[in-house]
Amino acid sequence: MNDLTAVDVLVNPDETTLEHARAWNARMRESVPDGFALDTSHQPHITTLQCYVRTTDLDDAYDAVHRTLAATDTSALSYQAVAIRHADWGVPGQGLAVILLRPGQRVIDFQAALLAAISPFTESGGTAAAFVTDPGEAISQSTLDWVGGYIPAQIGPDRYTAHITVGFATLDDLTAIEAEPFDAFTVRPAAVAVYQLGNSGAARKLLRSWPAPN
């Protein structure tokens, strides 16, 4: 099997959105203090595409992303933040919380274009070796399953769940949090980047970045 790298082609959101994400992350860590903090190795982001790329083809994959960006008006990409929601990520009694986003049609079109451009350099069958890990850390089966099945499970308007992950909280706390009113806001891109993934879909290692126009 070829050496593979687990990558996330993602949107780095604007500063206002980052402030929202950090505030929600702080609240989640009140619920689960040993949950991850949003920082340089757990970058708040909006995943557009996750997959395993052959490591020897990474430069070709970057070029494919660059060509797609050159043909895309990234300033027209927008999302609406609409709620706090969570998913079961294999941790008993806890959920992984996200800011749920409603993507615009141009985001869906961008995702389709990225998939077409990068597919020649992808391969199935990634293992824990494809991810960034801390010493002694094991990549969860939930993470392996999510990345392995991202295509086709999260591709297209009826499947893609755009979100910003903000941390772990207990299920009891999440029930209360999700029942609270949520003030919707607009999210816009500050940059598009490729990261190597870590556990729970965290953007752990920056591989390449392209700023979005003002």
From residue 147, alpha-carbon distances to 22, 37, 77, 84 in Å are: 24, 21, 23, 22
> What is the reported pLDDT for 202?
86
The domain that holds 141 is classified in CATH as: 3.90.1140.10
Of 42, 64, 66, 40, the closest CA to residue 54 belongs to 64
For residue 127, give its domain range. Answer: 4-211
Quote the CA–CA distance of 127 and 152 in Å, as a whole number. Answer: 19
Asked whether the predicted pLDDT for residue 41 surpasses 80, the reply is no
Q: How sure is the predictor about 181, in pLDDT bands with cuts at 50, 70 and 90?
A: very high
Q: How sure is the predictor about 149, in pLDDT bands with cuts at 50, 70 and 90?
A: very high
More confident site: 214 or 72: 72
Q: How sure is the predictor about 194, in pLDDT bands with cuts at 50, 70 and 90?
A: very high
Tell me which DSSP letter residue 95 carries.
E
> What is the reported pLDDT for 43?
82
Helical segments of the chain, H only:
15-31, 58-70, 105-118, 141-153, 171-179
Asked whether the predicted pLDDT for residue 110 surpasses 90, the reply is yes
Quote the CA–CA distance of 172 and 89 in Å, as a whole number. Answer: 15
Asked whether the predicted pLDDT for residue 57 surpasses 70, the reply is yes
Q: Provide the whole-model pTM.
A: 0.91
Residue partners of 12: CB distance under 8 A and separation at least 6: 43, 44, 45, 189, 190, 191, 192, 193, 209
Tell me which DSSP letter residue 56 carries.
G
The number of folded domains in the chain is 1
Quote the CA–CA distance of 42 and 198 in Å, as a whole number. Answer: 8
**Lowest-confidence region among 35-44, 112-121, 140-149, 163-172:** 35-44
Q: How sure is the predictor about 2, in pLDDT bands with cuts at 50, 70 and 90?
A: low
The neighbouring-strand residues paired with 43 are 203
Could you tell me the sign of the dihedral formed by the alpha carbons of 96, 30, 37, 161, in that order? positive
Q: How sure is the predictor about 188, in pLDDT bands with cuts at 50, 70 and 90?
A: very high
For the residues 18-28, what does the mean pLDDT come to?
Answer: 96
Phi-psi group of 164: left, alpha or beta (phi > 0 → left; psi -120 to 50 → alpha; rest → beta): beta
Q: How sure is the predictor about 214, in pLDDT bands with cuts at 50, 70 and 90?
A: low
